[in-house]
Structure 1
Amino acid sequence: MTDNSSDRTVTSGEQSFEFDLEISELSALVSDCAIALFDADGFITEWNSGARHLTGYDAETIGGDHYRSLFPTDAREDGRPDRLLERTRAEGTVEDDGWRLGDGDSRIWVCEVIATIRADGDVGVPVASAADLDGYLWFVRDRTADHGRARELREEKAFTESVLRAQPDILYAYDTDGNLIQWNEQFERVTGYDPEPPSDVDPLTFIAPEDRDHIGDAIERILEHGERLTAEGRVLATDDDRIPYEFNSARIVDDGDVLGFTGVGRDISDRKARERELERLERLNAVIRTIDDTMVTADTRDEIEAAIVDTFAASEGYRFGVIGRARGVTTGEGHSWEPTARGGIDAAGADGCSSFVDPPVDADGESALETRTVQRYRALRDSSIEQWRHHAREHDYGAVAVIPIAASNQPLGALVIGTAEPSAFPDREREVLQEFGGTIGHAINVMAVRRLLYQDSVVELEFESTDRGDACIRLSDELGCELSVDHVLPLTGEVFIYYLTASNVDPDRVRELARDDEAITDYRLIDADSDESYWECVVRNATIAETVTGYGARLQSKTVRDGVAKLTVQVSSDVALQEFVDTITSAYPDSRLRSKRTVERPVETRGDFRRTVESMLTDKQRMALESAYHGGYFEWPSRHSNAEEIADQLGIARQTFHQHLRVAQAKLLSAYFGDAD
């Protein structure tokens, strides 16, 4: 194609129009369009000023190059230019968008149209054979700016959509007529909303009926007064659950016109759960404070138990309280439990609570009396355990907690409390209840000890034991000696300080075996002579004294000779003796009760105690003790006088004063702690 013009025919219907195709004339008609002519093989033959302006190539430079030279490398390698020309031959005209190359490998996004030029002069008509094709007409418009804007819009839309998808909150927008116009996937997941086909959706459709009035008022204030509001309401979820949400909403305004409102809804279930937990803890603490005040003034265990269950039953948030005592131990079967006090529930219902203290084998739980830990059972109205489900529905409660009551690691009983809330007793509340159970056990134990100290008569039991589970028996057996327990001081429910006298044994052997015994965590030689050594040992568990202390009993004496122990224990007359004996013989099977007797104890007045002390002191010892007391020697941190001043007043040496005072103090403490004759 060498001429700049030629005769062409365009066919329309049954009429034909002939015209001369002049590229310069086409350029004048479409000044902002790049126009070029290709020969039948796709090589560039004509190039107008628009094409030069678009690509930067002039006609001399680009002339003779193939159409494919205008494509980026990846498109050329993919064969895209050749396929476009092939389609043009088959279809007559082809439109395409894409990147093209300009001078200096600049990239231009274009919208192009390619049309066939037939040998017979027709333009844009399919060509059946190569002989019929004279060339191609190429029209191109620069759309780089539009493509950039479109890409920015797509990126902005993709970013917005990704934010909406990633947002854990529900996002929404409504117009002034209450039609839902924008939302995210979380909105669909929570509400179950199906946007296909679109329909008018009132904002209150997804709100629980009981919350619709105040949410509706909030929407009205937003639209009418432009307030930015935060409101709480429960969303109706797909599973008919009511999920608490906090909504933050504001108006949509354009040039002063109110278009609707938009906002964010955040799931506040965790926050509400924490608030409920805090409220429950506050109520529980109030209940415990009330019970603590009662336990201080109570005279009997029955009073303590009645106060506990009555206070729980009367407290908001709790349905009932049932307390029971741990009864005799049966080897291999654990402790039994019998209700002794109840509040907020009838006798039959209280008896039914025993299945929580000793749960069935198919239940997910353990006996609180055995584990010594609080057990909780939730959602009981729908429990898979039939007796629990029936009991919960009959007595209208949703969850229970079983609190073990123990002293010195000895189970005394268990408290069962019920609440309406099916998900009650979270971990923090269980911790408080665990501590509360220990407080009850301590109060009961202290009360038993107090009764033991002040009763006129007590029951004295004598045991004999060869059980090597007891650390003292084990130590005596291995040493082949006699050990006498002079005093036992409980540090905690599991740790005791033993003051022991070892007779006819080398102290080094005692030290060696004590070091190797796992139950003895610490030891110290206090004094020793040729026949005896006096020891202080810290023992963890593994002693009969632990079991005795748990019942508020008192170990009067314990002597172990060659692994055979004889123990004398005093208990209050109102202690269940058979249960107490069974507890000891079950914990230490190689033990047996040898005798039982009631011991009358004389009433000792303050004057009796004073006379006892005076009979033990010499005149010089009494004088040293009395002058030190009245002279302010024992006042601390600021003393009114020191040892030297008091010694001068008595006319004795300071060392002598210290000697008299120390002996007098020892005799006074002996009288107080019961070691005096």
Structure 2
Amino acid sequence: MSDDPAERTDSTTGPSRGAADDKRIDGRAGRHLEIHELSTLVDDCAVAPFGPDGRVNRWNDGARRLTGYDAEAIVGDHYRTLFPPDARESDRPERVLERARSKGTAETEGWRLRSDGERIRVREAVAPIREDDEIGVPVDRTVELAGYVWIAHDRTEDYERERALREETVFAKSVFEAQPDIVYAFDADENHLEWNERVPAVTGYTDAELAEMDPLAFVAPEDRNRIAETIRRLLEVDEYVTAEAALVTKDGRRIPYEFNSARITDDDGGVLGFTGTGRDISDRKARERELERLERLNAIVRTIDETVVAAETRDEIEQAIVAEFAAADAYRFAAIGRAEPAARTAGYSWEPTAQAGIDATAVDGVLSSFVEPPADAPGVSPFETRSTQRYRHLHESPIDEWRADARERGYGAVAVVPIVATDRVFGALVVAAAEPSAFADREREVLQEFGGTVGHAINAMAVRRLLYLDTVVELEFESTDAGDSCIALSHGAGCDLSVDHVLPLTDEVFVYYLTVSDIDPDAVRAVARDTPSITELRLIDADDGESDWEVVVRDATITGLLGEYGARLQSQVVHDGVAELTVHVSLDTDLRDLVGAITSTYPDTELVSKRTIDRPIQTHGDFRRTVESILTEKQRLALEAAYHGGYFEWPTRNSDASEIADRLGIARQTFHQHLRVAQAKLLSAYFGTRDETATG
């Protein structure tokens, strides 16, 4: 063979004699076979005898048609004239002649040059001619060599077709193998014909095993009837079909796949089989399940929110939460517990209070370890981070206790949700899901928000209960801590002030109504501008050395901290930067936790006293009698006529001030005066911030 990959060489040995054996082709002058006689045998080929030195002696019409050379132009030239330059430089023509001499025949295929320089693909044979007229017999000694005979025919078109076919085949195969999906082909009898490398990689079967398998062998049993019907329809009806099924691997794993298939037909429309691709849709299915869980979670949260609004006790809220989660198909069980300050540490312990779908023993055991995870666990306590923790794929968890319990109870993931309000921890909810990949990021965000909602509901419930309790704990504090805006204002201005009312706008923004004594309003404004936590200031009234102010404060308030614990500020009076605060809390409030939060946030604060007090309970009748006692007859009549006469109906007011004034027989201006004073007294009786005995 030639060492050029573009040139193929075949060599044979031994005598070769044909119909022209009785003729003599003599490379020397005077001894030759008439060239036209040999051309008659191979008229579609180029035929030429060479001398022993490889130069052309004769030239037939086939050679002229093949090469473009006329006999006059080529006779006497060397065989190498027909080769491209690179072949000449490597002495390939000489090697072909030498191989023919030593082997008896040299058959080659390669590129040759026509007279116009065009490259053609040629299949040729070169045979030696001995002195004794033998052709195709190896010549051992050079003196016995009389010459050569060269026979060639054009294979350019065939070669180009073959090359194009090879390239097409290689391209198709590369596309076939490069597919990220599995590719398959079955015949009409459902025998496996072809597959790409992804099939054994995904299924785990060898090529030999795949060759013996039918399509349904890869399909989960519960999906086989449906896929069999799809294949039958595909072979009978010319249509493109798509079907989803679980692909079963050799080791028994199930992978959700989407199969897209079409018929294979011959030129006459006969059905030869079907081919198609299969795509792993595990990620898509996981996203679909996540959306389904998210929808169910939102539905659960909405139901619980409705219960929370109507609940009167924290126990009701906790029972409703665990019951709703445990009843949902996506979840196995739920448990909730309260955060109790841990002894001798700054942290918390988890005390279970309600559970559903799981027994109390397991809650005290393995579930507690999710809230307070062991040192070698991947998560941390939600009490530390105030964020929802999740533990997934628990069947394979490195924590032995978690892995064993998950397998026994049939759950795959757990979420631990802190119950918080602002930064105060009330407890934690533990929810277990069947799906190992449950509690994806969006679910975790919803649960995090839900924990905050429940925390605020519990805190608001404590505040409501405090308003109606007849027995409360009263705490008195003394503070010089300028971290509180009111203390900072009093200290900076060197004045006395009292807090008349606090209106919380958000968890971080409060409106204070203050009375400031013995200082010019302009001096109050100057100090307020230098107090970063005071964002707005408005003078309501100023008279006789006192001024009433509306102050908007952000963050820095003791009142805001009290609200996190369900406590209520009863009064705050500040004398030149020294504040006396009276706080009411319910009997079940953790006082150590509350006092610790206040003194750690505002270090220059100390608890002065603590006592339990009884507050008088005011009934509806008591309130009515109080209002009647502080209204004059004219004020009561004005208020009553306005209320029943439709004056307060808005925006479709049924009567105006003039009509009601005429009905009462008084001037319109007098009616307005009586009505405004009556309203002020009514509101004072409700809010308790003014002198209810004023008669006005």
Identify the TM-score tier after normalising by the shorter chain. 0.7 to 0.9
The 1:522–1:118 alpha-carbon spacing in structure 2 relative to 1, beyond 3 Å, is farther
Tell me how far apart the structure 2 counterparts of residues 539 and 28 of structure 1 sit (CA, whole Å). Answer: 113
Worse-superposed segment, 181-190 or 101-110: 101-110
Q: How does 1:390-539 map to 2 (within 5 A)?
A: 390-467=404-481, 469-473=483-487, 476=490, 481-501=495-515, 520=533, 522-527=535-540, 532=547, 534-539=549-554
Q: Which runs of 5+ in 1 are unaligned?
A: 1-9
Matched, 1:158 2:170: yes
Which secondary structure state, in structure 2, belongs to the residue aligned with residue 319 of structure 1? strand
Following superposition, the deviation at residue 345 of structure 1 comes to 1.6
CA contact (8 A) 2:191 2:212 kept: yes
Q: How does 1:70-149 map to 2 (within 5 A)?
A: 70-77=82-89, 79-128=91-140, 131-149=143-161
Tell me how far apart the structure 2 counterparts of residues 268 and 209 of structure 1 sit (CA, whole Å). Answer: 19
Q: Which runs of 5+ in 2 are unaligned?
A: 1-13, 25-32, 692-696
Which of 313, 325, 333 is equivalent to 2:346?
333
Matched, 1:60 2:64: no
Partner residue, 2:368: 354
Which secondary structure state, in structure 2, belongs to the residue aligned with residue 320 of structure 1? strand
Could you list the per-position Cα deviations for residues 271-305 of structure 1 after superposition, in whole angstroms to 9, with x for gaps in the alignment? 22122223322332333333233323322111111
The 1:392–1:566 alpha-carbon spacing in structure 2 relative to 1, beyond 3 Å, is farther
Worse-superposed segment, 476-485 or 593-602: 476-485
Following superposition, the deviation at residue 172 of structure 1 comes to 0.6
Partner residue, 1:174: 186
Q: How does 1:527-606 map to 2 (within 5 A)?
A: 527=540, 532=547, 534-540=549-555, 542-606=556-620
CA contact (8 A) 2:15 2:137 kept: no
Over aligned residues, Cα RMSD in angstroms? 3.6
CA contact (8 A) 1:329 1:579 kept: no
Which secondary structure state, in structure 1, belongs to the residue aligned with residue 291 of structure 2? helix
Tell me how far apart the structure 2 counterparts of residues 544 and 594 of structure 1 sit (CA, whole Å). Answer: 16
Worse-superposed segment, 246-255 or 75-84: 75-84
Partner residue, 2:36: 24
CA contact (8 A) 1:481 1:504 kept: yes
Following superposition, the deviation at residue 196 of structure 1 comes to 5.1
Partner residue, 1:6: none
CA contact (8 A) 1:97 1:110 kept: yes
Following superposition, the deviation at residue 63 of structure 1 comes to 4.0
The 1:581–1:43 alpha-carbon spacing in structure 2 relative to 1, beyond 3 Å, is same
Following superposition, the deviation at residue 569 of structure 1 comes to 1.6
Q: Quick one: which amino acid aligns to residue 388 of structure 1?
A: W
Tell me how far apart the structure 1 counterparts of residues 347 and 420 of structure 2 sit (CA, whole Å). Answer: 15
Tell me how far apart the structure 2 counterparts of residues 32 and 301 of structure 1 sit (CA, whole Å). Answer: 105
Which of 339, 343, 347 is equivalent to 2:356?
343
Following superposition, the deviation at residue 408 of structure 1 comes to 3.3
Tell me how far apart the structure 2 counterparts of residues 372 and 150 of structure 1 sit (CA, whole Å). Answer: 72
CA contact (8 A) 1:178 1:200 kept: no
Q: Quick one: which amino acid aligns to residue 294 of structure 1?
A: T
The 1:586–1:238 alpha-carbon spacing in structure 2 relative to 1, beyond 3 Å, is farther
Tell me how far apart the structure 1 counterparts of residues 487 and 89 of structure 2 sit (CA, whole Å). Answer: 96
Tell me how far apart the structure 2 counterparts of residues 158 and 327 of structure 1 sit (CA, whole Å). Answer: 72
The 1:588–1:414 alpha-carbon spacing in structure 2 relative to 1, beyond 3 Å, is farther
CA contact (8 A) 2:499 2:515 kept: yes
Which secondary structure state, in structure 2, belongs to the residue aligned with residue 47 of structure 1? coil
TM-score normalised to structure 1 length: 0.86
Following superposition, the deviation at residue 323 of structure 1 comes to 0.7
Tell me how far apart the structure 1 counterparts of residues 395 and 238 of structure 2 sit (CA, whole Å). Answer: 47
Following superposition, the deviation at residue 324 of structure 1 comes to 0.7
CA contact (8 A) 1:329 1:586 kept: no
Tell me how far apart the structure 1 counterparts of residues 142 and 439 of structure 2 sit (CA, whole Å). Answer: 88
The 1:596–1:224 alpha-carbon spacing in structure 2 relative to 1, beyond 3 Å, is same
Q: How does 1:253-272 map to 2 (within 5 A)?
A: 253-254=265-266, 255-272=268-285
Q: How does 1:192-203 map to 2 (within 5 A)?
A: 192-195=204-207, 199-203=211-215
Tell me how far apart the structure 1 counterparts of residues 575 and 139 of structure 2 sit (CA, whole Å). Answer: 124
Partner residue, 2:303: 290
CA contact (8 A) 2:332 2:434 kept: yes
Following superposition, the deviation at residue 194 of structure 1 comes to 2.1
Q: Quick one: which amino acid aligns to residue 452 of structure 1?
A: L
Which secondary structure state, in structure 2, belongs to the residue aligned with residue 104 of structure 1? coil
Following superposition, the deviation at residue 640 of structure 1 comes to 5.0
Could you list the per-position Cα deviations for residues 585-613 of structure 1 after superposition, in whole angstroms to 9, with x for gaps in the alignment? 45445433322233333333445434544
Q: Quick one: which amino acid aligns to residue 51 of structure 1?
A: A
Tell me how far apart the structure 2 counterparts of residues 245 and 568 of structure 1 sit (CA, whole Å). Answer: 68
Which secondary structure state, in structure 1, belongs to the residue aligned with residue 439 of structure 2? coil
CA contact (8 A) 1:507 1:533 kept: no
Partner residue, 1:304: 317
Q: Quick one: which amino acid aligns to residue 506 of structure 2?
A: T
Which secondary structure state, in structure 2, belongs to the residue aligned with residue 356 of structure 1? helix
The 1:639–1:611 alpha-carbon spacing in structure 2 relative to 1, beyond 3 Å, is same
Which of 234, 239, 246 is equivalent to 2:258?
246
CA contact (8 A) 2:264 2:274 kept: yes
Q: Quick one: which amino acid aligns to residue 335 of structure 1?
A: Y
Which of 281, 285, 294 is equivalent to 1:281?
294
What is the total number of aligned residue pairs between the two structures? 664
The 1:71–1:666 alpha-carbon spacing in structure 2 relative to 1, beyond 3 Å, is farther
Tell me how far apart the structure 1 counterparts of residues 607 and 445 of structure 2 sit (CA, whole Å). Answer: 39
Tell me how far apart the structure 2 counterparts of residues 240 and 249 of structure 1 sit (CA, whole Å). Answer: 24
Which of 200, 203, 216 is equivalent to 1:188?
200
Q: Between the two proteins, what is the percent identity of the paired residues?
A: 62
Tell me how far apart the structure 2 counterparts of residues 156 and 77 of structure 1 sit (CA, whole Å). Answer: 33
Tell me how far apart the structure 1 counterparts of residues 635 and 114 of structure 2 sit (CA, whole Å). Answer: 119
CA contact (8 A) 1:190 1:238 kept: no
Which secondary structure state, in structure 2, belongs to the residue aligned with residue 178 of structure 1? coil
Worse-superposed segment, 39-48 or 336-345: 39-48
Tell me how far apart the structure 1 counterparts of residues 171 and 196 of structure 2 sit (CA, whole Å). Answer: 13
Tell me how far apart the structure 2 counterparts of residues 638 and 431 of structure 1 sit (CA, whole Å). Answer: 44
Following superposition, the deviation at residue 475 of structure 1 comes to 5.4
Worse-superposed segment, 211-220 or 187-196: 211-220
Matched, 1:313 2:317: no
The 1:49–1:233 alpha-carbon spacing in structure 2 relative to 1, beyond 3 Å, is same
Worse-superposed segment, 136-145 or 665-674: 665-674
Matched, 1:379 2:393: yes
Following superposition, the deviation at residue 244 of structure 1 comes to 0.7
Partner residue, 1:231: 243
Worse-superposed segment, 396-405 or 250-259: 250-259
The 1:126–1:405 alpha-carbon spacing in structure 2 relative to 1, beyond 3 Å, is same
Tell me how far apart the structure 1 counterparts of residues 527 and 196 of structure 2 sit (CA, whole Å). Answer: 74
Matched, 1:208 2:212: no
The 1:646–1:104 alpha-carbon spacing in structure 2 relative to 1, beyond 3 Å, is farther
CA contact (8 A) 1:501 1:535 kept: no
Which secondary structure state, in structure 2, belongs to the residue aligned with residue 50 of structure 1? helix
Tell me how far apart the structure 2 counterparts of residues 82 and 232 of structure 1 sit (CA, whole Å). Answer: 66
